[in-house]
Structure formats: structure tokens, C-alpha cells
Amino acid sequence: MTIGFFMWRRLQRKQSAWTPEHQRVVVDFPDVRELRRRSATAAQPQGMIVGFYTKDSIYETEKNRFLRSAQLIGLSTDIVQVASTGDWVRNAAMKPGVLTTLRAMHRGALLYVDVDAVFHRNPWPALLGLDCDIAAYYEPEGHLLSGTLLINDTPAAAALLEAWRQACAADPQAWDQLVLERLLAEDAARDHPRYRFARLPVSFCWIFDKTNNEACDAVYIEHLQASREARQRARLFSLLRRPGKAVRRRRERSLAIERILFHPQRASVPPAPPASSDAMAPRPSASATPCCSATWAAGTPDP
């Protein structure tokens, strides 16, 4: 092999958006036949999947992927449209207000999921037995992610949503999930906490390329991080720059899943291209808002 070949391989690895570490955490997305096989039956109890998206935004398109995966698995959904405030953080701050309204409309458990996510399997058999008012996932860095929330039909859950709504309304520039994290921490520090809280495993809030995701046997909900697009557009001269690697990974992963969901005959493309031919590693097998609740570290510049 020539020196030129090795230099070409090195350049290829450097330019790829996918490192071996990113490749290792990508899970296989089930094909349409498998999703239907995993579909909820009429005899299985289930709650309502809820979410929202902002009109005339990227999330209006994101919700189509979300709804298609939910439909194939037989999940009931109530996804509402809201007018955008023109600001990503302020849009996110509308989440507790939307959830307060939806909680009052529906009986039984609600599962809120950001609409830039997709479902791998029916989540209800694993969730309906949780004895809590609300459940959420905390990432390894210790912060709550509000992209997936189980909200049970209890007075305390309704009270927490209202407290969250009021706190976000009082400071609309505060990130919604930081506000909820603070409210839960303050309540847990009381002698007699008002809210019964449960922690969800990472399988319900799987960020598709987060390299420190905990190991799990099966992914239920995969988040595709549309917020990266908002940050990309907000950067100066973003239209003249090549998208960052995190944005490119998101676009490639989203496209591969869309091929499976909407064009199964063309879905032979792998979920993500390898960083190089010798960087492939076995992927763990996996037996889904107007504002994607990005991982805490996602606010840093793209690698």
C-alpha cells in the first residue's frame, strides 16, 4: 500500500461525522414488518402518547416520522400544534402549559415524547406498573431530560405540571427541563415530599449518538435531536458553512429511519455510515415537540 493511500484513509476518517465510539451506540431500527409484529393488541392496556410541535417549523416535519412509528406499533397519540414564539427556549417553555391542558383532557397515564423521536416498541407494558406521579430519565451527567416523561393520572402530577407551568411563565428564558429538575430537587429535599418520582431507564430516552448511554437490552424510544438544526441555523454564516458533524450524524440517521418507515423497499442503507472500513464495531441489538430536549452536553459546539 502506498503512502498516498494511508493519507487518503486518514483524511476520510477525519472528515467522517461518525467515530467508532458513535458507531458503537447506534442501535438497529426495526423494519416495518417487525414494528407491526411488536404492535400493541386490543387486549393490552395502554395510555396516551402526547406531544406538540410548532407551526411552520422543522418540527412540523419531524412529527410525521414520530406518528408513523407510533401508528405501526398501534399506539394512541394526541399531538397538538402551537404557534411558535420565534425563540427555541421560549418554545420549550410552552411544554408544561401544553401538558397541563392535555392532562386535564385525558384520563389514564400520559407519556409525553418530543416529536423528533421515534418508537422502537410498545412502551406501555413496561410503564403502566410504575407507582409514581411522574417519571423521567436522568443522563449520566446527572441532569433530567424532559424529552420523555411519564405523567400518571394523579392530583399530585397535575399539581406538578401547574407548578412547572407557572415557573416557566415567570422565567420564559429558562430551559424547561432545568426548571422541572429544580422543582423535583426542591420537593425531594422536603421532610414530606409532595410528588412521587420514578427514574426511567435510558431505553426510554435513547439519544441516538450519545456515546455514554448506559447499556440496555432494548430501546423503546430513540431521540433524533432536531435542536441541533436550530443551533446550526442560529450560527453566523451558517448557510455558508458545512453542517457540523453532530448535525450531519442526525441527518444521516433520520434519513435512514425515514427510508425504513416510508420507503421500505429502499431501506437497505445502514443506519449510519462507518467512519472507515476498519472502524466498524458490532452494534447493540435493539429487540421516538417543537423543542427536542437535547442532552446537557449538546449545547457545546459540534466536534
Structural domain contains residue 2: no
pLDDT for 41 beyond 90: no
For 100-135, how does the pLDDT look when each residue is reduced to its tens digit (9 = 90+)?
999 999 999 999 999 999 999 999 999 999 999 999
Structural domain contains residue 299: no
Question: What is the model's pTM?
Answer: 0.83
Mean pLDDT of 279-303: 35
> Phi and psi of 77, rounded to 5°?
-135, 150
For 236-247, how does the pLDDT look when each residue is reduced to its tens digit (9 = 90+)?
445 556 788 999
Of the pLDDT bands very low, low, confident and very high (cuts 50, 70, 90), residue 13 is low
CATH code, domain carrying 142 = 3.90.550.10
Tell me which DSSP letter residue 59 carries. H
Of the pLDDT bands very low, low, confident and very high (cuts 50, 70, 90), residue 268 is low
Structural domain contains residue 277: no
Structural domain contains residue 253: yes
Structural domain contains residue 278: no
Structural domain contains residue 26: no
pLDDT for 299 beyond 70: no
Structural domain containing residue 171: 46-267+284-294
The whole-number pLDDT of residue 292 equals 37
CA distance 38 to 121: 6
Mean pLDDT of 77-87: 92
Total structural domains within the chain:
1
Structural domain contains residue 117: yes
For 194-207, how does the pLDDT look when each residue is reduced to its tens digit (9 = 90+)?
999 999 999 999 99
189-224: burial string, b at 16+ Cβ within 10 Å, e else:
eeeeeebbbeebebbbbbbbbbeebeeeeebbbbbb
Structural domain contains residue 240: yes
